[in-house]
Amino acid sequence: MELVERVLSITRDIEQAASLADWPEAARLTEARSPLLMSLSADQKPAALDLIRQIQAIDAALLADAAITQAELHSEFEAAIGRAKAASEYQRMARL
């Protein structure tokens, strides 16, 4: 049970980092948590299973948030590239 509680604590830390858009910290915590997750055994007490379900729910929400953030960043990147191309074209035309 102690191990599951530790994994849940780290998961909540990951959730906090993600809510602050501190994706490098979220990734670091995820890497630190991974070996602990792998060491969980299949046979757990019902209370531990409840905590594991909480971990799974938080992870699912984080993945959804990360996908949305990635899509937003991609859109912003594409818009920035478009603006850079427009500025470049303007400079090219100004030199003529």
Helix residue ranges per DSSP H, 1-96: 2-19, 23-38, 46-95
pLDDT at position 36:
96
pLDDT at position 42:
83
Query: Whose structure tokens read 């858009």?
Result: 21
Q: Please, which pLDDT band fits residue 14 given cuts at 50, 70 and 90? A: very high
pLDDT digits 0-9 by tens, 52-88: 999 999 999 999 999 999 999 999 999 999 999 999 9
pLDDT digits 0-9 by tens, 32-49: 999 999 999 888 999 999
pLDDT at position 96:
84
CA 43 and chain centroid, separation: 28
Which residue segment(s) compose the domain that 89 sits in?
2-95
Contact call for residues 66 and 15 (beta carbons, < 8 A): no
Give the number of domains in the chain: 1
13: number of CA atoms within 13 Å, CB side?
16
